[in-house]
Amino acid sequence: MKQVIIKLMIGLTFIFIFILSYTYSDIGKFIESKTYDARFDFRGKREPSKDIIIVSIDNVSMEELDSWPWPRDYHAKIVDILKGYGAKAVAFDVIFNKLSREPNNDKIFADSIKKADNVVLASMMIGGVYSKVSSSSNNVEDAMSYTAPDPYEEMLNGKIRYGLVNFQRDLDKNVRWGQLIYSLGDLTPSTQSIDNQWEPTFALQILKLYNPQKAQQIQEKYFDKKFLVNFAGPAHTYKTISFSNVLKGILLDNEAKTYNEVFKDKIVLIGATAEILHDTLTTPFTQNEQMPGVEVHAATIDTVMNGIEYKHASDFINNAIIILLGMIATLLFIYLNPFLGLGFVVLASVIYSAINLYLFIENRIWIDLTSPIGVMLFVFAGIYSYRFLIEEKEQRRVRGVFKRYMSPALVEEALRNPNKIPSLDICTKKFVTILFSDIAGFTTMSEKFPPEEVKRILDEYLTAMTDIVFANNGVLDKYIGDAVMAIYGNINSVDNADDAFRCVKTGIEMQEKMKDLRKKWVAEGSVAMQIRIGIHSGEALVGNFGSPLKMDYTVIGDTVNTAARLEGLNKEFSTGIIISQSTYELITNEIDVRSLGPVPVKGKSEAIHVYEVLGLSTEGKGRMVEDRNTKQTKWMRGNNKETKWARENNDTTWK
């Protein structure tokens, strides 16, 4: 539980570090913005508004007309032509900041604008140079207060409509956001104080001409707010006609017979698309191609006019998603191995990305994509680094301890399931089944043979017995001289019955193996040894016992002592394997036994009913063979002459 709490705290810490260091950082905003752009590419083009037409100052016009800047009477003519065709609003995305080469042309242009009364000109705040050109009123209607530099006098005196063509760009210089009204503080250097001054943008002024009532509603909605422009597509998405063609009356539109059909009741934006004029911007749709500024204005107008802006989820929502996914990941990473943890990150990222993309395309909602995915990776790194540094260290310690007691496969399986392996530092009470085996007459044999021969035989015997213990997923507790102690249930236990069955099966296989070893040893001229096995089930204390200099992972308690006593009873009954009542009750249907009756055991106030194991049941139901008679029981429990005679003469006819 302590480790779980520590990992939860690590996960929470990493989540909040990620939010502070990535989500609100410039690099985090930069990366997220790039994924926003990628979502536009994935979405593809949408249908642009048919109410917006672009008259482009394009390469063709630049070749056919005079060198730039053109005489102002060209612009005056285009105003007159478009007014005649019924255009509802005409807007020049051109900064007329110098006097015309023909001074009279400025007046001609100004007169055409005043006569048409449907024209908006562009103003821009650049370089920190600002000049007051009209009213300083706080009223938005009169807030055409700053431009750079001053327009020519004729235009100024004409009280022409102006709108700011500035765009606020993100860190990567891309245009994603639009704004209809700028606070001059947004665009003014911090060293210059301009209080409570507002400037309408190019788009707002156009909308006021096109639909005054709707423009007022839009103005109130977006008065001091930014909005995400819903770009219709890459460059050249909006209907575009060459400036020179309109000027000359050349119609190349297959969908209309006259320019009246093209321009009537439309918003007409006049702006540069020729490369030489360098009036381009980078937008989400222009990863490899710049978009003419006039098209960005078209997309801005289209967005607010039709109410199709994208909505950016609030910081609260984005952070809530980050924390939610981060906590889910933390809880899973506590228990999953790294491969499954990484699999979760991949699967969760795919599902989240699909949902995110659906909301973007179908509902025009921009929810952060990189932060929720990034926090899962960040928490993944934090949790698994901790697990590797701390838990792996503990696992190495556990592996070092248990590899002496268990098969390598069982050690690794136990480590993969930590709940099945007790802590080395905690003593617990568990229900276990204990096996004791001992070689009959080993001391006498060891005195008759050379030490080398004794060692060879003992090593061969212990190796064979240990392999059987490991094969049955038992724990080799220790060797006590020629004795073997094995435990079932202290590690990687399934249930008590399974532990008891594996323990008894181990004893049977030990006796079978001893038959082969005896034949081998006799053939080698050595001794034919017998082993005796005692098995008992019950509660015992499990832990790593000892001093700081020498520790042993073992079990202690009455259950251990009883198993050892049962091993000794085999000598009295001339049997090979004796189990207790508690063990027998766990696996009654799994084994065939002979009841030996209740037997007094040293250290026990009451006798224990014991059984000789005859073998594993082959019928699915255990078989019990009763004692031959009560006399046999008395013989084998006593120390009278008959008992001695039976032992000495190996009288087993009672069996």
pLDDT at 6: 77
Average pLDDT value for residue range 626-643: 49
20: DSSP letter:
I
Rounded to an integer, the average pLDDT of 342-369 is 95
The predicted pLDDT at position 646 comes to 44
For residue 422, the model assigns a pLDDT of 57
Q: Which two tokens stand for residue 410?
A: 């069982």
Judged against a pLDDT cut of 80, whether residue 328 lies above it is answered with yes
> Which has more pLDDT, 302 or 22?
302
Task: Using the predicted structure, report yes or no on whether residue 179 has a pLDDT greater than 80.
Answer: yes
Say which DSSP state 388 is in. I
Res. 613: pLDDT tops 90: yes
| pLDDT tens by residue, 89-111 | 999 999 887 777 777 888 888 88
Residues 484, 437 contacting (CB under 8 angstroms): yes
Percent of the chain predicted with pLDDT > 70? 81
Q: Which of 476, 502, 483, 490 is nearest to 583 (CA)?
A: 502
Q: Over 90: is that where the pLDDT of 223 sits?
A: no
**pLDDT surpassing 50 at residue 654:** no
Of 642 and 132, which is predicted with more confidence? 642
Map out the domains of the chain with their CATH numbers. 2-26+312-396 (no CATH), 50-305 (no CATH), 420-648 (3.30.70.1230)
**pLDDT score, position 535:** 96
State mean pLDDT over 31-36: 92
Do the Cβ atoms of 299 and 352 come closer than 8 Å?
no
- Can you give the three-state secondary structure of 579-634, one letter per residue? EEHHHHHHCCCCEEEEEEEEECCCCCCCCEEEEEEEEECCCCCCCEECCCCHHHHH
Identify the pLDDT of residue 21: 82
Kindly state the tokens that stand for 203.
């788009």
The pLDDT tens digits for 420-429 are: 555 556 778 8
Question: Of 192-201, 324-333, 350-359, 563-572, which gets the smallest average pLDDT?
Answer: 192-201
Q: How far is 357 from 353, CA to CA, in rounded Å?
A: 6
The pLDDT score that the predictor gives to residue 454 is 87
Beta strand 365-366 with 311-312: parallel, antiparallel or unpaired? parallel
DSSP letter (8 states) at residue 19: I
Report, as an integer, the average pLDDT of 133-157: 40
The Cα–Cα gap between 188 and 148 comes to 12
553 has pLDDT over 90: no
Which residue's entry shows tokens 């952070």?
319
Contact status, residue 486 vs residue 474, Cβ threshold 8 Å:
yes
Cα 400 to Cα 259: distance, rounded to the nearest angstrom: 89
- Token match 């050379």: residue? 450
Q: Which amino acid is at 78?
A: I
Over range 555-569, report the average pLDDT. 92
Calculate mean pLDDT across residues 387-395: 75
Residue 278: closest CA among 263, 299, 293: 293
Alpha-carbon span 132 to 122, nearest angstrom: 15
Distance CA 365, CA 356 (A): 8
Half-sphere exposure of 43 (CA within 13 A, CB side): 28
User: Which residue has tokens 């300083």?
Assistant: 136
Average the pLDDT over each of 200-209, 292-301, 609-618, 633-642 and give the range with the smallest value.
633-642
Pairing of β 280-281 and β 291-292: antiparallel
Give phi and psi for 616, each to the nearest 5.
-75, 145
Q: Which two tokens stand for residue 115?
A: 């006569």
534 exposure class (CB count in 10 Å sphere: 0-12, 13-18, 19+)? buried
Going by their DSSP bridges, the two strands 428-440 and 530-547 should be labelled as: antiparallel
pLDDT attached to residue 144: 36
Residue 286: the pLDDT is 67
User: Alpha-carbon distance 549 to 156, whole Å?
Assistant: 97
Neighbours of 73 (CB within 10 A): 17
| Mean pLDDT within 291-295 | 94
pLDDT digits (tens, 9 = 90+) for 578-591: 999 999 999 999 99
C-alpha dihedral (228, 233, 236, 239), degrees to nearest 10: -80
Question: Poorest-confidence range of 191-195, 309-313, 442-446, 596-600?
Answer: 191-195
Q: With 50 as the cut, is the pLDDT of residue 75 above it?
A: yes
Looking at residue 388, its pLDDT comes to 82
Spatial CA neighbour of 263 closest among 114, 85, 446, 17 = 85
State percent of the chain over pLDDT 90. 45
- What is the number of helices (H) and of strands (E) in the chain? 24, 25
SS3 436: strand
Strand-pairing partners, residue 545, are 552
pLDDT of residue 600: 86
Residue 542 has pLDDT above 90, yes or no: no
Is residue 313 within 8 Å of residue 369, measured between CB atoms? no
Q: Is 207 exposed, middle or buried (0-12, 13-18, 19+ CB in 10 A)?
A: buried
Picking from 498, 464, 499, the residue whose alpha carbon sits closest to that of residue 482 is 464
Across residues 557-561, what is the average pLDDT?
Answer: 92
Q: How confident is the model at residue 399 (pLDDT cuts 50, 70, 90)?
A: low
- Whether the pLDDT of residue 132 is over 60: the answer is no
Give the C-alpha separation, 394 to 399, whole Å.
Answer: 8
Pick the most confident of 78-92, 589-603, 605-619: 78-92
Mean pLDDT score across all residues of the chain? 82
Average pLDDT over residues 56-82: 89
CB 276 within 8 A of CB 331: no
- pLDDT in the model for residue 126: 58
CA distance 125 to 197: 14
The predicted pLDDT at position 522 comes to: 87
- The angle, 0 to 180 degrees and rounded to 10, between the axes of the packed helices 338-363 and 315-335 is 160
Quick one: pLDDT band at residue 316, thresholds 50, 70, 90? very high
Residue with the bigger pLDDT between 146 and 378: it is 378
pLDDT for 181 beyond 80? yes
What pLDDT score does 297 carry? 96
* CB atoms near residue 375 (< 10 Å): 28
Stretch 359-373: mean pLDDT? 95
Average pLDDT over residues 350-361: 96
Reported pTM: 0.63
Task: Pick the more confident residue, 383 or 359.
Answer: 359
Instruction: List the Cα angle 406/466/545 in 5-degree steps.
Output: 50
Query: What is the average per-residue pLDDT within 560-577?
Result: 92
pLDDT at site 409: 60
Q: In this predicted structure, what is the pLDDT of residue 83?
A: 93
Q: Are 638 and 600 in contact (CB under 8 A)?
A: no
